[in-house]
Structure 1
Amino acid sequence: MKKIFILFLLITTFHLSAQDKKPDPVIVLDGKIVRGLNSINPNNIESVQILYGKDAVDKYGDTARNGVIVVTSKPKPGIPPRESLDPTVTEVWDLAPMVVTPGKNVGDAPSDAILLFVGTDLTEWTNSSGAVAAWDVKDGAMTVAKGAGGIKTKRTFGDIQLHIEWRAPAEVKGDGQGRGNSGIFFHEQYELQVLDSYENQTYSNGQAGSIYKQSIPLVNVCKKPGEWQAYDVVFIAPRFSETTGRIIAPANITVFQNGVLIQNHVEITGPSQYKGLPVYKLHGKGSISLQDHGNPVSYRNIWVREL
């Protein structure tokens, strides 16, 4: 009965249009404009929608000023329905992103960031054994103190966005790995190298911006000794099987140095090793640690966003 009524509605609409000597309404079948009723099989009709006036013109243009008949066929088994000409079909209005206020200047922390060092104290940090961090804090920066050892965050993290600024000593001493050396370790084991690589030769996978002994930076964008530099990092932690403890998905990292891409979604092959090959071992979230390599490297403006 429903099919007969729909067919009657279509025929009546065209008959009235012909009597008024107006152009026929536009017929849209499964998202496509068709000519006449011959294209429509009443037995395959799922629904019919009639549009008039502004609604019709807004969706289908001036040719629809005398109305639009929108016919949708029943979907055929195994065949997805044709795309609709209605743009609202593909619009998503829920699940709106959370509003985050960006920092005033480039490098400033956004509103959802966790501030790890703002230039005043080391309350977010301990030394490598969990005792009080003993690096020097002066003029808004913290600097490796001789014999103090490395430091790490009290908090632990998984996937993060990290901003950190660093400076090699202005006074050039040593060369290669002995000049302005430090490191940023994710989960205390995956190292992003910090080194004075301005006109300073060393092995390529150990220079500034390298994933130590694993990935060479795309370019060398190091500034002169004594100038502040910035790393902006996206670190995705490795995934392990909950049942076997085996690695499922290796960690990966993207790094910008001084605004220039130097590591592009690089897969980390395991914990950084000075000797030997890296091998993954099961772990959970971890701290960010900063290395004491015997050089007075400085850090400032450190913040993270948990992803």
Structure 2
Amino acid sequence: MNYFRLSAVGLLALALTLHVNANPVKPKKGRWETLFNGKSLAGWHTYLKAGEPVSEKWTVDDGAIHLAQGRAGDLVTDKEYGDFELELEWKIAEGGNSGIIYHVHEDPKFKATYQTGPEMQVLDNERHPDAKQGRDNNRTAGALYDLQKPINLGTAKPAGEWNKARLIVQNGKAEHYLNGKKVAEYATSGPEWDAMVAESKFKGWEAFNKFNTGHIALQDHGDKVWFRNIRIREL
């Protein structure tokens, strides 16, 4: 009797194991999720072109997402995120410009990701003219693009070298870090935010930063750029 009872228990355990493996539980909130597997662009699509093949100008090169040449369109995550912590590494070509944009609302009436989402700047500060445009260095690498003076300057490594970026968006606030140093900290709505927008190029843009959730975008600004070790966790 005990033998058959143990056998039945063993079979039940095996059946449960097979069921769990066939239907893996999704990562719980707060766990890190890999956004790039180092081998393919699975989980990403070109802005406004979900379900279509990504341009061959976006390639996977030595474990990194590489924009080989412009006019490929911005790359966006299939999934949308609200509050999150994002980590990645980026490398820009000499004289290059790109960006990491969040809370992107995908709708044909918005032709570009930056029409709806704020941007963490990716730039060759030494050679690209954008570094000296805007106000108070607010277009330099790591900054909240065209909106806020960086907390720390000189955090970016030269073109051709990898930079580690971290972006935290939670409870109506955001922080940018570049190579371990805080570059930006701001409220994502309210009077302080409105005042920054009023003095920026985004003044009067009806949909800019009006969405609490959205896609993460890697910008095609026409220059060669690389991204790797991309992961995110929802907060």
**Which category of TM-score, normalised to the shorter sequence, fits these structures?**
0.5 to 0.7
What amino acid is aligned across from residue 136 of structure 1 in structure 2?
T
Whether 1:222 and 2:160 are equivalent positions in the alignment is: no
Deviation string for 1:192-228 (max 9, x for gaps)? 1111114764231111111111112112211111100
What amino acid is aligned across from residue 75 of structure 2 in structure 1?
I
Counterpart of 2:187 (choices 257, 267, 281) is: 267
Q: Measure the CA separation in 2 of the matches of 1:281 and 1:234.
A: 15
3-state SS of the aligned residue for 2:138? helix
Deviation string for 1:84-119 (max 9, x for gaps)? xxxxxxxxxxxxxxxxxxxxxxxxxxx921110131
Q: Measure the CA separation in 1 of the matches of 2:141 and 2:183.
A: 10
Give the Å deviation of 1:274: 4.1
What amino acid is aligned across from residue 183 of structure 1 in structure 2?
G
Q: Measure the CA separation in 1 of the matches of 2:210 and 2:80.
A: 16
Consecutive unaligned residues in structure 1, runs of 5 or more: 1-110, 173-178, 238-250
Give the Å deviation of 1:157: 0.6
Whether 1:207 and 2:140 are equivalent positions in the alignment is: yes
Q: Give the TM-score normalised by the residue count of structure 1.
A: 0.52
Name the Cα RMSD after superposition: 2.4
Deviation string for 1:147-203 (max 9, x for gaps)? 21111000111100000110011xx3xxxxxx2111111112111111111476423
Q: Measure the CA separation in 1 of the matches of 2:83 and 2:142.
A: 19
Whether 1:136 and 2:59 are equivalent positions in the alignment is: yes
What amino acid is aligned across from residue 170 of structure 2 in structure 1?
I
Q: Measure the CA separation in 1 of the matches of 2:87 and 2:211.
A: 24
Counterpart of 2:169 (choices 235, 240, 248) is: 235
Q: Measure the CA separation in 1 of the matches of 2:158 and 2:67.
A: 19
Flag the 1:297–1:222 CA change in 2: closer, same or farther, 3 A: same
Give the Å deviation of 1:293: 0.3
Partner of 1:155: 79
Q: Measure the CA separation in 2 of the matches of 1:133 and 1:142.
A: 12
What amino acid is aligned across from residue 192 of structure 1 in structure 2?
M
Instruction: Judge conservation of contact 2:143–2:176 (CA < 8 Å) in 1.
Output: no
Instruction: Judge conservation of contact 1:118–1:300 (CA < 8 Å) in 2.
Output: no
Deviation string for 1:237-290 (max 9, x for gaps)? 6xxxxxxxxxxxxx42112110111123x1232698745355567535211011
3-state SS of the aligned residue for 2:214? coil
Identity %: 31
Q: Measure the CA separation in 2 of the matches of 1:214 and 1:294.
A: 22
Instruction: Judge conservation of contact 1:182–1:291 (CA < 8 Å) in 2.
Output: yes
Q: Measure the CA separation in 1 of the matches of 2:221 and 2:160.
A: 17
Partner of 1:184: 100
Partner of 2:217: 289
Whether 1:122 and 2:44 are equivalent positions in the alignment is: no
Instruction: Judge conservation of contact 2:118–2:209 (CA < 8 Å) in 1.
Output: no
3-state SS of the aligned residue for 1:117? coil
Q: Measure the CA separation in 1 of the matches of 2:35 and 2:167.
A: 15
Give the Å deviation of 1:299: 0.5
What amino acid is aligned across from residue 149 of structure 1 in structure 2?
G
Q: Measure the CA separation in 2 of the matches of 1:281 and 1:166.
A: 24
Counterpart of 1:168 (choices 92, 99, 102) is: 92
What amino acid is aligned across from residue 257 of structure 1 in structure 2?
L
Q: Measure the CA separation in 1 of the matches of 2:53 and 2:201.
A: 27
3-state SS of the aligned residue for 1:232? strand
In terms of Rg, which structure is larger?
1
Instruction: Judge conservation of contact 1:235–1:253 (CA < 8 Å) in 2.
Output: yes
Q: Give the TM-score normalised by the residue count of structure 2.
A: 0.67
